[in-house]
Amino acid sequence: MAKNTKNSQFEDVSSFNSNADYRRANKAKRKKHKGLKALICVFCVLLILVGSGMLFISNYLLADLTTTTITKDKDALGIVSGVETNPNITNIALFGVDSRDDNFSGLSDVIIICTVDEIHHKVKLTSILRDSRVYIGEKSQTASGYDKINAAYSLGGAELAINTINQSFKMDITDYVTVNFGKTAAIVDAFGGVDLEITEAEREQININLTNLLGEEGEASGITDIDYISESGMVHMTGNTAVAYSRIRMIDSDTMRANRQQNVLEALVGKLTSFGIGDYPQLIKRMCALAETSLDFTTIFGFADFAISDFTLERLVVPGELENPAGDTYYDDYPETGSWEWRYDLDLAADHIHEFIYEDLYDSETGLVEGAETANTAE
């Protein structure tokens, strides 16, 4: 009795009270399996396409990119204990070196903190003037350990240059991109040149610099009449012309020189909007052959969506009026030749840079960044 009762109870709760019901359910199950198989097939095809795309990007587009590995130890990179960073705001060091050949060594006469701000949807360029007096340490050319900030790259490569920026301005930089002036010309040419407004004084100095470049082997090649500028106002610049323009400082100041470098960068970014999607692969391939970076492919891929989005560009030059810099010749630091350098309050400059980069997220009184992660000095 108990056995029959159990069977009776089972049949009462079963969905298959008849053969017809069973056949209908089994047919639906087979359809479900077919749909699941189709979904899996589509997913596999997508994986193949994505995988092929990744192979195309890594083996073709980025094949000529010079990648390097630098320490990720925050203490070695000069990231001060307690420095706060926001995971959605990335700071990368951009260096322009004065190498006269195809390597990436020498004085970093261009020093820019490039900020990718995914919160405010901006790219921010903070130029640090190359003659800024900062503490480099035992590798410095002076007994005091202080030197011009552009010397750090030539004395200890990208790692020492990043360390110096981080220590001096309380930054969190762990990666860099470097080009040399000769490659800057090729980069501008890869974009088809740039259009910029220039004064008559700038026009004259551009032409003087172009003539000087002819005598500097490896700096800029193939200078021709087309590189020279005949009129002021809005002009089209070739790569060689843009290099000559970026080097101008005799007619005004190093601050204006940094502004000109930023003008070229801003013009290049502006040209991206005029390119069609089919133009990007060749542009990326040409650009990769002209730079050295510590960024890995995963990080580079991570910036892809942001790079093709509608972001704004903002600029800052340090020191500025806020830092109240004083320029002078200090023979104590450079007893043999003497050297002009910028001396200013680095703590004040660091605060200025943080306000620019983090905007409303930064509290200047406490030095705290909203939504921040505190950097540790060791990993």
Average pLDDT in the 174-192 region?
Answer: 86
Distances (CA, A) of 278 to 51, 275, 282, 283, 344: 20, 8, 8, 10, 47
> For the chain, percent helix, then strand, then coil, each to nearest 5?
45, 20, 35
Q: Which of 147, 196, 158, 182 is nearest to 295 (CA)?
A: 158
So what's the pLDDT on residue 312? 87
List the Cα angle 367/373/377 in 5-degree steps: 85
Other beta carbons within 10 Å of 202: 21
User: Which tens digits make up the pLDDT trace of 48-106?
Assistant: 444 444 444 555 566 677 788 999 899 999 998 888 788 899 999 999 887 656 667 78
- The percent of residues in the chain predicted with pLDDT above 70, rounded, is 73
Q: Which residues, in sequence order, are bridge partners of residue 126?
A: 113, 316
Number of H helices, E strands in the chain: 11, 17
User: Which tens digits make up the pLDDT trace of 126-181?
Assistant: 999 888 989 999 888 888 889 999 999 999 999 999 999 999 999 999 999 998 77
Per the listing, tokens 């001096």 go with 168
**272: pLDDT confidence band, cut at 50, 70 and 90?**
confident
Per the listing, tokens 């890995």 go with 296
List the Cα angle 108/113/116 in 5-degree steps: 145
Looking from the CA of 16 toward its CB, the CA atoms found within 13 Å total 6
9 has a pLDDT exceeding 90: no
So what's the pLDDT on residue 39? 59
Q: Is the backbone of residue 147 left (phi > 0), alpha (psi -120 to 50) or beta?
A: beta
List the Cα angle 272/222/94 in 5-degree steps: 45
User: Which tens digits make up the pLDDT trace of 11-27?
Assistant: 333 333 445 554 555 55
Structure letter (DSSP) for residue 376: P
Average pLDDT in the 202-221 region?
Answer: 79
The phi and psi torsions of 108 (rounded to 5 degrees) equal -90, 85
Question: Is the pTM higher than 0.85?
Answer: no
d(CA 239, CA 198): 16
Q: Which of 181, 163, 26 is nearest to 98 (CA)?
A: 181
So what's the pLDDT on residue 53? 47
Per the listing, tokens 């997913």 go with 43
Q: Is the backbone of residue 106 left (phi > 0), alpha (psi -120 to 50) or beta?
A: left
Considering only 33-47, 64-78, 209-223, 312-326, which range has the smallest mean pLDDT?
Answer: 33-47
Q: By the 8 A CB rule, do 149 and 341 touch?
A: no
SS3 at position 249:
coil
Q: Which residues, in sequence order, are bridge partners of residue 237?
A: 194
- The percent of residues in the chain predicted with pLDDT above 90, rounded, is 35
So what's the pLDDT on residue 34? 55
Average pLDDT in the 240-244 region?
Answer: 93
H helix runs in the chain, sequence order: 2-13, 19-56, 151-169, 181-190, 200-213, 239-246, 254-271, 280-288, 297-302, 304-307, 346-358
Q: Which helix (H) or strand (E) holds 135?
A: strand 133-135
Taking the alpha carbons at both ends of the chain, their separation in whole angstroms is 71
Candidate ranges 23-32, 194-203, 207-216, 279-288; pick with highest mean pLDDT: 194-203
Per the listing, tokens 């030539």 go with 154
